[in-house]
Amino acid sequence: MTEQPTAGVEADTQDTRIADFWEAARGHLGWGKLDTVLGESVDGAVAPPAWSFGDDARLADELLALVLAGRKTATSTALVEFGAEPLPKVGDVSIVLDSAGDPRALLRTTAVEVLPFDQVGADLAAAEGEDDLTLESWRRQHEVYWRRVLGDDAFSSSMDVVTERFELVYPTSGPTPAVD
C-alpha cells in the first residue's frame, strides 16, 4: 500500500474529495458517531487515512477493482514498508484511492497478523484475490513486487509480512441504513 503524497492546490482538492467521500460513506452507513475517528462533535470529524494499493497506477487500479468486485478481502505489506507508521489494527477504517487520487472505497480491518513470508498460507493468498488465487502465484508475485520495491538484498523468505484482512464497507450494494 502506498500513502498518496500531494502538494499545494492538488492536495487541497484531494483533501476535499476525501472529506466529501468520508461524509458520504458515514451518511450511507449511518455512522453519525464513530468513536475511533470522530471528535466530540461532527465538526471534529477526521477522515481516516487514505492510500492506494501497490507502487504504480496500473496496480493501484487493478487491485482496487478486485476489492470493489468483492474478490479481494486481504492485503500484505512488508513490515519494513511501515517504517515508523503504526501497524493496522482490527476495527481500523481507511479510504482506498484510485490511481488518480480519487477516493473509491472505505475498508474496515477485520484481522491483522505479522508472520514470515514463507509462512503465509493458501487461505490468505486466495483472499488477496489476485491471479489464480494460489499460494504459489502469491509468493511469486509478491517476491517480484518486494524485490522491486525494497531491493533484492532486502527480500528474504523469512522477512516479516503484515497480513491484513478487511471488509468493504462503502460503497455497498445493499440498502442504505438510516442516518442518525
Express as a percent the part of the chain with pLDDT over 70.
83
Reduced to 3 states (helix: H, G, I; strand: E, B; else coil), residue 17 is helix
pLDDT band at 45 (very low <50, low <70, confident <90, very high): low
Cell of 32: 453519525
- The CATH class given to the 2-170 domain equals alpha beta
Is residue 34 over pLDDT 70?
Answer: no
User: Looking at the predicted structure, is the pLDDT value of residue 5 above 80?
Assistant: no
In this predicted structure, the answer to whether residue 54 has a pLDDT above a threshold of 80 is yes
Per-state percent for the chain, helix, strand, coil, to nearest 5: 35, 20, 40
pLDDT recorded at residue 44:
39
pLDDT in tens, 124-157: 999 999 999 999 999 999 999 999 999 999 999 9
**Which residue is associated with the grid cell 484482512?**
165
What is the percent of the chain with per-residue pLDDT over 90, rounded to a whole number? 69
In the predicted model, what is the mean pLDDT of the chain? 87
Judge whether residue 119 has pLDDT over 70: yes
Per-residue pLDDT reduced to its tens digit, 63-102: 999 999 999 999 999 999 999 999 999 999 999 999 999 9
| Residue burial 124-136, b: 16+ Cβ < 10 Å; e: rest | bbbbbbbeeeeee
8 pLDDT tier (thresholds 50, 70, 90) = low
In this model, does residue 11 exceed pLDDT 80? Answer: no
